[in-house]
Amino acid sequence: MDGKVQLQKQLFDYTASLFQEGFLDNQFNQLEQLQDESNPDFVVEVVTLFFDDAERILNELTTSLGQEKIDFKRLDAHVHQLKGSSSSIGAQRVHEACIPFRNFCTEQNVEGCLKSLQQVKHEYSLVKSKLETLFKMEEELLASSLADLKVV
């Protein structure tokens, strides 16, 4: 029982820190509220979709910025997509990093775009790592709860 309480506290504190540090915003809470017994994996599913989508976009952005002739409109469209999806799952810092990126696209500023891409990639890898840690902790807590049920 003690171990479980420890895990609960760890999970609680870790989650709180993610909000405090701005990695996640209230939209993430909204996702959690949509999870229930009929959809027990909703948050993990949506976030996983986000990871796949974000990685696809980041690869596209990297390729696009490596071209001889850069299509800034297309670039902007991709950044807009990433800005939207990160906002939809509550990945606040990724969302915010997309804002100056869009401005640089409009200005057709290559230097600015390259710097922004670095920043977005950085924020993305941070939030991905943190969310993966969060999900792992939840799994451990669940496993611990299930173990309790087996105790006679």
Partner 1 sequence: MGMAKDNQFHVLAVDDSIIDRMLIERLLKTSSFQVTAVDSATKALKFLGLVEDVASEIHQDVDVNLIITDYCMPGMTGYDLLRKVKESKSFKDIPVVIMSSENVPSRINRCLEEGAEEFFLKPVQQSDVNKLKPHLLKSRVKEEQEQPINN
Q: List phi, psi (to 5°) of 7.
A: -60, -40
Helix, strand, coil abundance in the chain, percent, nearest 5: 85, 5, 15
Residue 143 sits in the site that holds partner 1 (CB under 8 A):
no
Give helix 72-89 / helix 42-65 axis angle, nearest 10°.
Answer: 160
List, in sequence order, every residue forming a beta bridge with 91; answer none if it has no partner. 24
State the minimum distance, in angstroms, from the CB of residue 25 to partner 1: 10
Site string for partner 1, 12-31 (x = CB under 8 A): ---------------x--xx
Say how many residues touch partner 1, by CB under 8 A.
22
- Of 60, 61, 58, 30, nearest to 46 by C-alpha is 30
Residue 85 sits in the site that holds partner 1 (CB under 8 A):
yes
Residue 135 sits in the site that holds partner 1 (CB under 8 A):
no
Tell me the CA end-to-end span of the chain in Å, nearest whole number: 13
Query: Quick one: tokens of 140?
Result: 């451990």
Which range of residues in 84-92, 103-111, 133-141, 143-151 is near partner 1 by CB under 8 A? Answer: 84-92
Residue 45 sits in the site that holds partner 1 (CB under 8 A):
yes
Which range of residues in 60-68, 80-88, 111-119, 139-147 is near partner 1 by CB under 8 A? Answer: 80-88
Provide the binding-site residues for partner 1, judged by CB under 8 A: 27, 30-31, 33-34, 39, 42, 45-46, 49-50, 53, 77, 80-81, 83-85, 87-90
